[in-house]
Structure 1
Amino acid sequence: MNSTSHTCPGCGRDDLVQAVPAAYLAGRDAVTSRERNSDGDMRTVTRRVTTALSEALAPMPEAPTYGLGCLGVFAGLVAVGTFLGWVFAGRAFEEVPDGAYGYFGGPPPRLGPDPDLAFLGWVSGLALCAALLVTGVLVRRRAAFVHQTRGRHRAEELWSHGWYCHRCGTVHLRDVPGEDVRPLTLQAFRERVWERGGYGDLAAHQRATG
C-alpha cells in the first residue's frame, strides 16, 4: 500500500487502511453449514452473512422489505378458497332438473347463490380487494425506491474514493475535487455518499452502526 497516498489523516499510519469497496465486500459472504431438519435428516444450509461494518459502508439504502406481501398472499388464498367454497359447497349455480319448468311457463331456473352461504361471496370479494391493495402498495413502494435511487452511480463514484481505517474506525476521501481528506465517521460518510446519489434523507432513517 502506498503510504503517501493512503495514510490515514487521523492516526497518520497506513497499515490498517483499506479501500471502502474492499472493506464492504470483505464483510459479505455466504456461509454453508450442515444442519438437521425437522425429520432428523442432515441437510446443507447456505446463509448470507453480512458484518456490521459492511452494512455501514453500503453505498445505497436497503431495498424496501416485502413482508407485507405475505399478507397479500394470504388474502389471495382466502379469496380463492372462499370463492370455491361458495361455488361448490354453496351450490352457487344450481342445475335445474329436466322437466322442472315447461315450454310456456313453470318456475324459472334458480341460478343465484345459496342465501345461507352468500356471506362467502362477500368474504371472497373483500379478501380479493385486500390482495389487490397490498399488491398496489408493494408495486408503488418498489417504483418509488427505484426512482429515488436512480442516482446510485454518482454515489458509487464518490464511494469508490473512500478509504477506511480499521484503527480509527473512520473513513476519508482521496482524489475527489472539492472534498477534503479529514476523517469522517461512518454516519458522516454515509450521509455524504447518499447525498451525492440523491437519497441523503434516507441516511437519517438507516443510520450506520458499524
Structure 2
Amino acid sequence: MTSRHPQGKVGHRTREVVSDLSRALAPAPIRDQPPGLTLLVLGAVTTAFAVFAFIAGNLARTFDHDEPGFTTLQGQGHQGFEVPAAIPVIALVVAAVFFVTGGVLNASAARELAGRPRAEHLWARAWYCDRCGTVHFPPGRGLPAGALSLQEFRRVVWHAGGYGHLVRGD
C-alpha cells in the first residue's frame, strides 16, 4: 500500500489481510499479538511509575514529622503533596504480577503451538473444494473419509496439533 504524506514524501505501509476462509482453514490459531504482550507492557509502565515515585520521594528529602512514612514534595511557589512511602513497593509488586502473568501466558501459547508441525503435516495433505465449500483428505489410514465442513476440518487438524481445545464450538 503506497501513501503520500503531507510533505510530499512517498511511504510504504504493509498490512496483512486474512480472509475468513483462510482463518477457517488455518493449521493453527492466528494470533495478532502474543497473548501476554499487553500485560508485559503494563508491567513496564507500572515499573516506570514505581521508579518515578521512588525517585520523587527521595528527591524531596523533606519528611513530614506529623505522619511518618510520607514524603512531602514542595516546589518553588507550589504547595507540597505527599507520596506515601509504600507506593513504589506496591507498584513493584503489581508490576511483578503483570510480568509473571504475561510470561506465563506467552509460555503457555508457545507450548500449545509446539505441535504445529504435526498439524501442518496433516493440513498439507488435504485440499479445499471451492465449488462445494468442503475439505477432503486423500484415502488413507487414520484420515477422515468424505467431505468435511470447515469446522470439522479445523477440529481434526487442530486436535492433531494438540490445541484442539481452542476450536470454537468445541
What is the TM-score when the length of structure 1 is the normalising length?
0.63
Shift of 1:35: 4.6
1:116 maps to a residue whose letter is T
- CA-to-aligned-CA distance 1:41-88 (integer Å, 9 cap, x gap): 443322222222222211112454222233222212211211121122
Structure of larger gyration radius: 1
Contact 2:115 2:161 in 1 (8 A): yes
Q: CA RMSD in A?
A: 2.6
Structure 1 stretch 44-53 or stretch 195-204: which is displaced more?
A: 44-53
Q: How has the CA–CA distance of structure 1 residues 115 and 69 changed in structure 2, closer, same or farther, with 3 Å as cutoff?
A: closer
Structure 1 stretch 175-184 or stretch 195-204: which is displaced more?
A: 175-184
Matching residue within 99, 109, 116 for 1:152: 116
Q: Structure 2 unaligned segments of length 5 or more: list them.
A: 74-81
Matching residue within 28, 41, 66 for 1:70: 41
Structure 1 stretch 144-153 or stretch 116-125: which is displaced more?
A: 116-125
Aligned to 2:12, the other structure's residue is in SS state: strand
2:55 maps to a residue whose letter is L
Shift of 1:179: 1.8
Aligned residue number for residue 185 of structure 1 = 149
Aligned counterparts of 1:92 and 1:140: Cα–Cα separation in 2:
41
Aligned residue number for residue 3 of structure 2 = 34
Matching residue within 116, 119, 122 for 2:72: 116
1:55 aligns with 2:11: no
Shift of 1:196: 0.9
What is the TM-score when the length of structure 2 is the normalising length?
0.76
Q: Structure 1 unaligned segments of length 5 or more: list them.
A: 1-31, 94-111
Matching residue within 56, 59, 83 for 1:85: 56
Structure 1 stretch 43-52 or stretch 188-197: which is displaced more?
A: 43-52
Aligned counterparts of 1:180 and 1:143: Cα–Cα separation in 2:
32
1:75 maps to a residue whose letter is T
Contact 1:85 1:120 in 2 (8 A): no
Shift of 1:137: 0.5
1:79 maps to a residue whose letter is A
1:60 maps to a residue whose letter is A
Q: How has the CA–CA distance of structure 1 residues 35 and 138 changed in structure 2, closer, same or farther, with 3 Å as cutoff?
A: farther
Aligned residue number for residue 15 of structure 1 = none
Aligned length: 153
Contact 2:119 2:158 in 1 (8 A): yes
Q: How has the CA–CA distance of structure 1 residues 35 and 181 changed in structure 2, closer, same or farther, with 3 Å as cutoff?
A: farther
Aligned counterparts of 2:41 and 2:70: Cα–Cα separation in 1:
32
Shift of 1:175: 4.5
Percent identity (aligned): 35
1:165 aligns with 2:129: yes
Aligned to 2:83, the other structure's residue is in SS state: helix
